[in-house]
Amino acid sequence: MSNWELASDILGWVFIISGSIFMLIGAYGALRLPDFWTRLHAVSVTDTGGVLLLTAGMVMQSPDWLIAVKLVFIGVFLFITGPTASHAVANAALVSGLMPKGEVMPGTTGKEAKAMGATSEEKSY
């Protein structure tokens, strides 16, 4: 095993382990945080930190470049579809009237955001 292979092996394991830690933190946050909106933020940690680090680690560990290219494709697609899906979920929550609960800063609740002009129901698609 050459020095280069050893370095990429070690780096790959560092990425995989730190990605797994972010996955666990995100899962813990999704259970611990109080309401839908804050839980969505916890899930976005698994969506970015976890997924990106894990795919990067797997690229480092992959035995040949064909597999590495496929992993890069998977990473790029998750990078685009992940936030799009989160946005769709958050938008559905706002449209159906689910507002942030708990101690929200005064004057900033979703109802007032709606009154400010966020009338998605009237938008014509």
Partner 1 sequence: MVRILFGASGLVALWLLMSGLWDKPLILIFGAISIVLTMWITIRMDEADGEQLAFAIKPFATVKYVIWLLAEIAKSNLAVSKIILSGRMPERQKLFMVPVSCKSEIAQVMFANSITLTPGTITVETENDQFIVHALDFSDEDMDGLADMDARVAAVESSVQS
**Which residues of the chain form contacts with partner 1 (CB under 8 A)?**
22, 25-26, 28-29, 32-34, 37-38, 40-42, 44-45, 47-49, 52, 66, 69-70, 79-80, 82-84, 86-87, 90-91, 93-94, 100, 102-105, 108-110, 113, 116-118, 120
Quick one: CA torsion of 87, 90, 92, 94, rounded to 10 degrees? Answer: -130
Residue with tokens 């990067």: 56
Q: Closer CB to partner 1, residue 2 or residue 111?
A: 111
Given the structure tokens 């449209």, which residue do they identify? 95
- Smallest gap from Cβ 9 to partner 1, in A, equals 22
Residue type, 48: T
- Judged by beta carbon, residue 61 or residue 90, the one nearer partner 1 is 90
Query: Least distance to partner 1 from the beta carbon of 40, Å?
Result: 6
Question: Closer to partner 1 at the Cβ: 10 or 24?
Answer: 24
Least distance from partner 1 to the Cβ atom of residue 97, Å: 13
Q: Based on the number of CB atoms within 10 Å of its own CB, is 57 exposed (0-12), middle (13-18) or buried (19 or more)?
A: buried
In angstroms, rounded to a whole number, what is the distance separating the alpha carbons of residues 104 and 74? 37
| DSSP letter, residue 49 | I
If the CB atoms of residues 12 and 41 are measured against partner 1, the closer one turns out to be 41
> CA dist 22 to 43, 47, 50, Å?
10, 9, 5
Measured from the CB of residue 122, what is the shortest distance to partner 1 in angstroms? 11
